[in-house]
Structure 1
Amino acid sequence: MSDSPKLDFIREIIAGDLASGKHETTITRFPPEPNGYLHIGHAKSICLNFGIAQEHPGARCHLRFDDTNPEKEETEYVESIKTDVKWLGFEWGDNLYYASNYFDFYYESAIHLIKNGKAYVDHQTSEEMRANRGNLTVPGTPSPYRDRSVEENLDLFARMKAGEFQEGECILRAKIDMASPNLNLRDPALYRILHAEHHNTGDAWHIYPMYDFAHPLEDALEHITHSLCTLEFENHRPLYDWFIDNCPVPSKPRQIEFARLNLTYTVMSKRKLLQLVKENHVSGWDDPRMPTISGIRRRGYTPEAVRNFCKRVGITKYNGTTDVALLEYEVRDHLNKVAPRRMAVLEPLKLVLTNWPDGHEEDVEVVNNPENPEEGTRRIALTREVWIEREDFMEDPPKKFFRLGPERHVRLRGGYIVKCTGYEKADDGTITEVRAEFLPGTMGADTPEGVVCKAAIHWVSATHGVDAEVRLYDRLFTVEDPDGEEGGFLSVINPDALKTVAAKVEPAAADVEAGFRCQFERTGYFIADAKDHVPGTKVVYNRTVPLRDSWAKKK
């Protein structure tokens, strides 16, 4: 019995094609439209296409921008996509392509179809074409312009290219089958008129190919062997094959569909993500609440965790929804191994060691990462006054509360055991200060006989601690299926998806570069913000994930 892991159905097809000699190598492509930022769903496709190329000697994956719609595409999106693919750990080398570089070939292919009586210029309005298309039970009605002569169509198409017509005045359509049960084959549009500036070709063109027409031609030109796309394109496959069979292409790719990634508590529509940005529900495409790759990168997710998640989800033929908790688990699992520990107090409460000599300091030794002993230890100055978490003290603690309370003991992480001897309150009942005595001889030692100490708490020196802005990010929506809400996805935006607190952090968490990831002990995983953090000057951290899934108990 083989110990090799079971291949998904796409990798089985590719293995069979290589074994049979159908292909000498494998060529895949990742073909994003540069009309927005990539999201976590695209990461699945990136990992699949580039991953397959990495698994086979001589194979490659092309990064190709399907930039056939100048009205929605921007250079900003092109550059962001390149950054995202590289961040995930993949390289395209010399295999960077643009659909717009093939505009001449699409035009020649359209001429080829016209000359063979398989394309025509239609002057119907978009409303008329929609009405005449029919539906699943009613066949379409042929356009009154469907039987124009080849010569007339060639002349009209040339005039379209020259910019003689207004937008919407006419289009070029394929002549296939208006009675086909597959609506995609009912004379689909090939070219529309757009008097728009293109980010790559400027104003050289007044006509632009439709995605369904351009995409198979791009694949064929680049000799793609396996064109992998999500299930919504399954009904488009006969059209894809029709264009390959009827245009003068140099190769015949095979389109294979797989299930897209859907996540709970998340929207994946580019249109909806753009709406969140345009209406200022978030601060931008890279807002850490967004499911964009740039957003999760800024939030502190690691590429290793995202790749592990995509591998765990796998490749199937059936649509489903994955719990976002699985993604968060992979993030925690990886960060637990690689993120050094630091101490930060998010809701500071002052603790004064009354028997500690004024001005005295002692270095305590703490472990940088218990999961990785090679990272060693660091030393932190313990002083008379320290900050502790407000929730680590209770005036009247219940029986199973093992932290600080009147006459109770707790250990300061890496340091001494301390005993609470008193506290001060404001007029509104708020605790303003806790007093305690440290027990000499207990640093790094076992708990003395007769002393009950069942917990250790983190702390930050009041003398050396640094002020920090800490942003506590959470899930952007309050329900598992925001798209299914009757009031629309905007009606279930989580008002607590971002909370900002004024915290205290140890110096080793302040004098770090932007992008530094760590675990704030007993709190969660955090990253120094890529945009706003300035080492030692303006300390800004984003919470990546809490230490545990706090949403599980809400279901």
Structure 2
Amino acid sequence: MNKPDTTPPANFLRQIVKADVESGKHDKIVTRFPPEPNGYLHIGHAKSICLNFGLAQEFGGECNLRFDDTNPAKEEQEYIDAIKADVEWLGFQWAGEIHYASDYFDQLHAWAIELIKAGKAYVDDLSPEQAREYRGTLTEPGKNSPFRDRSVEENLDLFARMTAGEFPDGARALRAKIDMAAPNMNLRDPILYRIRHAHHHQTGDKWCVYPSYDFTHGQSDAIEGVTHSICTLEFEDHRPLYEWFINNLPVPATPRQYEFARLNLNYTVTSKRKLKQLVDEGHVDGWDDPRMSTLSAFRRRGYTAASIRNFCERIGVTRSDGVVDMGVLEFSIREDLDANAPRAMCVLRPLKVTITNYPEGQTEQLELPRHPKEDIGVRVLPFSRELYIDRDDFMIDPPKGYKRLEPGGEVRLRGSYVIRADEAITDADGNIFELKCSYDPDTLGKNPEGRKVKGVIHWVPADESVECEVRLYDRLFRAPNPDKGEEGGTFLDNINPESLVVLKGCRAEPSLAQATAEDRFQFEREGYFCIDSKDSRPEAPVFNRTVTLRDSWGG
């Protein structure tokens, strides 16, 4: 895969905000990030977070965190807590207290009554199925509900009885009276309130009616003094409705909605419904399973907040839908970890090596740099008679071009001596379980003149290494577009059966015994890894592979 262009693309929203600041249109720029608390945030949300908080920071403004909590049946405190943690982890802080759309339920309800009194809203008795039929299609206008011309007095009475909980769920709805023949279907008498006898995580059992997202969103922006309401392109057709509410209600401010293209990343799904299905059906181990596209999962896997911010800046902000290659995200991760992650050695598939000519009982403390370019100190590796190398680093009959250990061949142990393979010890089935090797004491950190060594391999001491579990995570889906399942199938058909390989009995160098949750390392020759924040224990560490050293999927 070619190295991505690192020049930040143009950001048309930045230009809009800049022009508004320079013209003095607003005293202060106010943006908001308004997630629905019905699931965990995913990589697509990261783009919106970076955009909304980033613009506010750049222009000396504020960004609110507001939970659009209008659907209590699907909302949970767990999601609220996770969303707050993700925003803070990405490096952003919201202005003031956290906002909830439910903070404004009293005001929204009062405004709904004002619309009824103005003859611009009515209580509709059509069932959801009938309402869909009356709505029409993209090519055919809708038709008026038979309940559209109720009197103001009757509508006020029915809405009060709806609010009091007199009717069952779905029996009635409050709708705006706009235009059932409007080309934009969002203007065809949209729903303002539905009956829902549901307990709300913020308001308890106070309400039996809940406002729609469309009725809530723009008015919440206005109450909070938002200047730039930034949404993804699927809300473009909702903008006329957003503006209709703003123009027909005595709101304290007039925010403007702008749309940008959402982030579509191949080899992933970002639908909350599908992510929840993966969790509920046990295809993954929770919302923070490191194979998921959620920010919690990326964090657990070892992605850094800086790399995600850099990725979001790199892909830019446009109004053109497209698909970003997963390789661009992985490049951003490698770029950050290559510069910042300490180096270490871990043998994933241990093969014991005995250095037959090394004195028994002797140990040398070898110092290796923690990073090849940055001065962040050294780590100490004990070198003694017994050690482990990776099983793949020895072959009895290697192919041409093999640059590791073979019978009679020599390699250098990283930061240590040159060793020669003298004898392979096998069990009754012919499986190699130990190598007898000899070392050259004159080769510590150097090659004697005229001496050629095929390669360098990693190793750990046998006695003082740390036994650990290593989880090799890969992409959860094997197809670039997971939604295109096999004929008659679903996205689940494209789950990659090799997305997780668990290796037990691995051996890590002693310095890793002190690693704590989310510490990241480059395991030399193996990839970038981090301590698992959920399952790892000091006595039994678990390392997750964050990303390989190079792209293994590119063409």
Give yes or no for the alignment of 1:463 onto 2:466.
Answer: no
Task: Map Cα deviations across residues 423-464 of structure 1 (whole Å, 9 max, x no partner).
Answer: 12234332221111101111012x224432031111011111
Q: Provide the rounded CA distance (Å) in 2 between the counterparts of 1:418 and 1:75.
A: 58
1:52 alignment partner in structure 2: 55
Q: Decide whether the 8 Å contact of 1:41 with 1:261 is kept in 2.
A: yes
Moved more, 457-466 or 43-52: 457-466
**Residues 424-443 of structure 1 mapped to structure 2, 5 A cutoff:** 424-443=425-444
**Which residue matches 1:549?**
551
| Structure 2 match to 1:518 | 521
After superposition, residues 152-301 of structure 1 pair within 5 angstroms as 152-301=154-303
Name the SS of the counterpart of 2:521 in structure 1: strand
Say which SS state the counterpart of residue 442 (structure 2) adopts: coil
Aligned with residue 33 of structure 2, among 27, 30, 41: 30
Q: Which amino acid aligns with 1:335?
A: L
8 A Cα contact 2:9 2:316, kept in partner: no
Matched letter for residue 500 of structure 1:
V
Compute the displacement of 1:149 (Å).
Answer: 0.6
Counterpart CA distance in 2 for 1:103 and 1:169 is: 21
Match of 2:483 in 1: 483
Work out whether residues 528 and 547 of structure 2, in 8 Å CA contact, stay in contact via their aligned partners in 1. yes
Q: Which moved more, 1:496-505 or 1:512-521?
A: 512-521
- The CA deviation at 1:269 is 0.1
Find the aligned partners of 2:384 and 2:497 in 1 and give their Cα distance: 39
The match for 2:20 is 17
Partner letter of residue 23 of structure 2? S
- Residue by residue over 1:402-438, the C-alpha shift from the partner in whole angstroms, topping out at 9 and shown as x without a partner, is 1110111101111111111111223433222111110
What secondary structure, in the 3-state scheme, does the structure 2 residue paired with 1:312 have?
helix
Give the distance between the partners of 2:9 and 2:15, measured in 1 at CA. 9
Q: Deviation string for 1:91-128 (max 9, x for gaps)?
A: 01414211001000110110111111110000011111
Q: Shift in Å at residue 195 of structure 1?
A: 0.4
Code of the aligned partner of 1:64: R
Q: Which runs of 5+ in 1 are unaligned?
A: none
d(CA) in 1 for partners of 2:250 and 2:498?
56
Which moves more between the two structures, 450-459 or 412-421? 450-459
| Superposition deviation, residue 550 in structure 1 | 1.1
Of the structure 1 ranges 301-310 and 388-397, higher mean CA displacement relative to structure 2 is found in 388-397
- The amino acid of 1:97's aligned partner reads H
371, 374, 395: which one aligns with 2:373: 371
Kept in 2, the 8 Å contact 1:514–1:534? The answer is: no
Aligned with residue 498 of structure 1, among 497, 500, 507: 500
Tell me how far apart the structure 1 counterparts of residues 454 and 215 of structure 2 sit (CA, whole Å).
Answer: 69
Check conservation: 2:65, 2:99, Cα contact below 8 A.
Answer: yes
Q: Is the 8 A contact 1:336 1:371 kept in 2?
A: no
CA contact (8 A) 2:56 2:63 kept: yes
What is the correspondence of 1:381-392 to structure 2 with a 5 Å cutoff?
A: 381-392=382-393
Helix, strand or coil: the match of 2:243?
helix
Shift of 1:18: 1.6
Map of 1:422 onto structure 2: 423
Distance across 2 between alignment mates of 1:489 and 1:110 = 41
Pair 1:454 & 2:445 matched: no
CA distance in 2, matches of 1:207, 1:19: 43
Which residue does 2:310 correspond to in 1? 308
Aligned twin of 1:397 = 398
- Pairing of 1:313-328 with structure 2 (within 5 A): 313-328=315-330
Among 131, 137, 140, the residue aligned to 2:139: 137
Q: What TM-score do the two structures reach when normalised by structure 2?
A: 0.97
- Partner residue, 1:335: 337
**Contact residue 301 and residue 331 of structure 1 kept, 8 A:** yes
Q: Residue in 1 aligned with 2:106?
A: 104
Q: State the shift of 1:533 in Å.
A: 1.4
Task: Say which SS state the counterpart of residue 476 (structure 2) adopts.
Answer: coil
**Unaligned stretches of 5+ in structure 2?**
1-6
CA deviations over 1:501-551 (Å, ceiling 9, x no partner): 02001111122212211111110111111012122x111111101111111
**Cα distance in 1 between the residues matched to 2:367 and 2:162:** 76
How far apart, in 1, do the equivalents of 2:43 and 2:275 lie? Answer: 12
Over 3 Å counting, the alpha-carbon distance change for 1:85 and 1:5 in structure 2 is: closer
Question: Which secondary structure does the structure 1 equivalent of 2:238 belong to?
Answer: helix
Question: Contact 1:409/1:451 (CA < 8 Å) preserved in 2?
Answer: no
> 1:54: how far off?
0.7
Amino acid at match of 2:286: G
Which residue of structure 2 aligns with residue 362 of structure 1? Answer: 364
The 10-residue stretch of structure 1 (167-176 or 21-30) with the greater mean CA deviation from structure 2: 21-30
Q: Distance in 2 between matches of 1:39 and 1:156?
A: 41
Aligned length: 546
Segments ≥4 residues shifted beyond 3 Å? 4-7
Partner of 2:85: 83
Q: Give the counterpart letter for 1:309 in structure 2.
A: F
Q: CA–CA distance in 1 between the matches of 2:291 and 2:373?
A: 28
Aligned mates of 1:427, 1:255 — CA distance in 2: 74
2: CA distance between counterparts of 1:273 and 1:312? 25
Aligned letter for 1:187?
A: D
1:346 alignment partner in structure 2: 348
Following the alignment from structure 2 to structure 1, what is the Cα–Cα distance between the partners of residues 165 and 379? 70
Tell me how far apart the structure 2 counterparts of residues 429 and 128 of structure 1 sit (CA, whole Å): 74
SS at match of 1:77: helix
Which segment drifts farther, 479-488 or 223-232? 479-488
Counting aligned pairs with the same residue, the percent is: 58
Give, in whole Å, the separation in 1 of the partners of 2:516 and 2:24: 51
Q: SS of the residue aligned with 2:266? A: coil
1:397 CA displacement: 1.8
When normalised by structure 1's length, the TM-score is 0.97
* Cα RMSD after superposing both structures: 1.2
Instruction: Tell me: CA distance 1:6–1:331, structure 2 relative to 1, closer, same or farther (3 Å).
Output: closer
Question: 1:466 offset after TM fit, Å?
Answer: 1.4
2:3 equivalent in structure 1: none
**Alignment check: 8 A CA contact 2:9 2:317 kept:** no
Give the letter for the 2:415 counterpart.
G
Secondary structure in 2 aligned to 1:275? helix
Query: Structure 1 CA distance, aligned partners of 2:441 and 2:503?
Result: 34
The separation in 2 between residues aligned to 1:177 and 1:22, in whole angstroms, is: 33
Alignment partner of 2:150 out of 125, 137, 148: 148
Q: Is the 8 A contact 1:533 1:539 kept in 2?
A: yes
Cα distance in structure 2, aligned partners of 1:371 and 1:28: 40
Report how far residue 272 of structure 1 moved: 0.2
Higher deviation after alignment, 417-426 or 33-42: 417-426
